Amino acid sequence: MPRLETQCMSEYTPAPSGSFDAPTGRPGRHPNIVILLADQWRASATGYAGDRNVRTPNLDRLADRSVNFRNAVSVCPVCTPYRAALMTGRYPTSTGMFLNDLYLPSSELCMAEMLGRAGYETAYIGKWHLDGHGRDTYIPPERRQGWDHWKAAECDHNYLKSHYYQGADPTKRYWDGYDAFAQTADARAWLRDHQTSRRPFVLFVSYGTPHFPHFQLPPGYDRLYEAEHIRLHPNVPEAMREAARRESAGYYAHCEALDRCVGEIVATLDETGLTASTILVFTSDHGEMMGSHGCPPYTKQVPWSESACVPLLIRAPGAPARSVAAPINTTDILPTLLSMAGVNKPGSLEGEDLSSVVMGAPDPTDRAALYMLMSPFHGVKRYDAEYRAIRTVEHTYVRGITGPWLLYDDLRDPFQTRNLIGSPRHDAIRAALDRRLSEELARIGDGFRPRQHYLDRFGYEIAAHGSISYAAGARPQSPRARRGKD
């Protein structure tokens, strides 16, 4: 098995019409982009990251051919906030997208709009979770943020009968069987149809797994993993171990099924000759605690690596395969892809362009990735707290609303079992990281206020479960006009 790495657990100017040649992967041409997004896949849960529980042969081979950002963090380890940050390149403090089931307003400039204006065809398949009009509701073209080809739904984790809407037809349809397999088949057909297109394209495939429920699996996959053989992280307390092993068996089965999907997409890119002209991205919106630190299975949001750190592989024409230690944030992905695509970056972006790192520049190990939780919901009560955090190559530092909360040496303590806050030997490190965190917050204009400040600022009404209502017909909520910095 692979050895265990320390892995985190100017305004827009559209190109002139007709200025794009068929993508070839040669310098000066505009590459295609394929993004594969999993839901709740933590960074450590792959073979290439050292997890001996799970079988991910396709991802392991892809990692051998990709840039592996092993300290990638989710800017806010919750589904909707992550997706909004990925689409806009902006922080939740700026967009107001810090809770699940919010509506990403049309005033935000998004990935498909930027690429579409530059001549790209745009296609979206799978889970959306940015519409805020109810999880079953049809999403009309004007609310799709520039995605043209559309076979998607707001949110559905019924993996054996999940729904979607196609094109401009409001008829509810259902994927055939296990939805990830059906979505992959659809994506492969779309790629084959576009292998000779003279326009570059961006294809986004958004899966619902390995997010719970962990036992809605394709036939035979429920027998792949036995709970008693699952090896848990050492930070899982004894009281959580039985439930964590049981849920992990289904979780890893979803991972193996999704690994099959990734392999099929890679094979299709190879078969169609598109590999040489396509940037391929695999990542996830957040992780899964699975009992670590006493958090029940299904827990996200919290600042530990199992929740906050995600896999991120980028395979690109001309990019040397390697492992990168430099932390990278959700907001950095869009400016990086735009630069690699030769598309001008709008001034609204708040992330950093790391395309030079992807293409082989020295690993900038002095970086820090900022992540946050502005308004907790569905949390573990003793950890139900807002926070701001930074991940560096060596450390994770977390500030709570009342002051320093967590400090870990991730190189010496990868499972984050020893909180160094209060240790005199580490006071200088804590102070330096706290200053660095303050600098990052100042850069995005965030004063780190209590959660109610942000709920009031953006005008949100919270349902009983602590976030925005799931129901169709509930008043859709999007960040209102007050967008000033704190």
Q: 129, 214, 233, 293: which is the annotated catalytic residue?
A: 129
**Looking at 8, 30, 76, 79, which residue is catalytic?**
79
**pLDDT for res 15:** 36
Is pLDDT above 90 for 61? yes
**pLDDT, tens digit, for every residue of 174-190?**
999 999 999 999 999 99
Per the CB < 8 A criterion, the answer to whether 32 and 278 are in contact is: yes
Q: CATH classification of 32-366 is 3.40.720.10, yes or no?
A: yes
370-456 has CATH 3.30.1120 classification: yes
Q: Is the pLDDT of residue 348 over 90?
A: yes
Q: What is the pLDDT of residue 474?
A: 67
Give residue-wise pLDDT tens across range 2-28: 333 444 543 333 333 333 333 333 334
Domain positions in the chain are 32-366, 370-456
Residue 25 pLDDT: 36
- Percentage of the chain modeled with pLDDT above 90: 87
Looking at 85-89, 277-281, 380-384, which range is the least confident one?
Answer: 380-384
Percent of the chain with pLDDT over 70: 92
Predicted pLDDT of residue 415? 98
Per-residue pLDDT band for 468 (boundaries 50, 70, 90) equals confident
pLDDT of 198 > 70? The answer is: yes
436/430 Cα distance (integer angstroms): 10
- Residue count (the chain): 486
Q: Is the pLDDT of residue 284 over 80?
A: yes
Q: How far apart are CA 211 and CA 310, in angstroms?
A: 13
pLDDT at position 210 over 80:
yes
- Please report the pLDDT score of residue 379 as a whole number: 61
In this prediction, residue 23 carries a pLDDT of: 36
The two tokens of residue 453 are 């400040």
State phi, psi for 260 to the nearest 5 degrees: -60, -40
Please tell me the distance from the alpha carbon of residue 123 to that of residue 149, in angstroms, as a whole number.
4
Same fold, 32-366 and 370-456: no
- Dump pLDDT digits (tens) for 120-163: 999 999 999 999 999 999 999 999 999 999 999 999 999 999 99
CA–CA gap between residue 427 and residue 420 (Å, rounded) = 9
Question: Residue range 401-415: average pLDDT?
Answer: 97
Does the pLDDT at position 381 exceed 60?
A: yes
pLDDT of residue 483: 52
Question: What's residue 17's pLDDT?
Answer: 31
Res 380 pLDDT > 70 = no
pLDDT(319) > 80? yes
What pLDDT score does 470 carry?
82
202-216, 323-337, 463-477: range with lowest mean pLDDT? 463-477
414: pLDDT confidence band, cut at 50, 70 and 90? very high
| CB-based contacts of 253, cutoff 8 Å, min separation 6 | 214, 217, 221, 222, 224, 225
pLDDT value of residue 471: 80
Specify the pLDDT at position 475. 66
Separation of alpha carbons 94 and 350, rounded Å: 9
Residue 171 predicted with pLDDT over 50: yes
Q: Is the dihedral of CA 431, 433, 439, 440 positive or negative?
A: negative
What pLDDT is recorded for position 13? 35
Tokens representing 432 are 């330096």
What does the alpha-carbon distance between residue 72 and residue 329 come to, in Å, rounded to a whole number?
Answer: 6
- What value does the mean pLDDT of the chain take? 92
Catalytic residue status for 129: yes
DSSP-assigned beta bridge partners for residue 314:
67, 281
pLDDT-derived band at 405 (thresholds 50, 70, 90) equals: very high
Confidence of residue 29 (pLDDT cuts 50, 70, 90): low
Residues 212-232 have pLDDT tens digits of 999 999 999 999 999 999 999
Closest CA to 289 of 212, 398, 372: 212
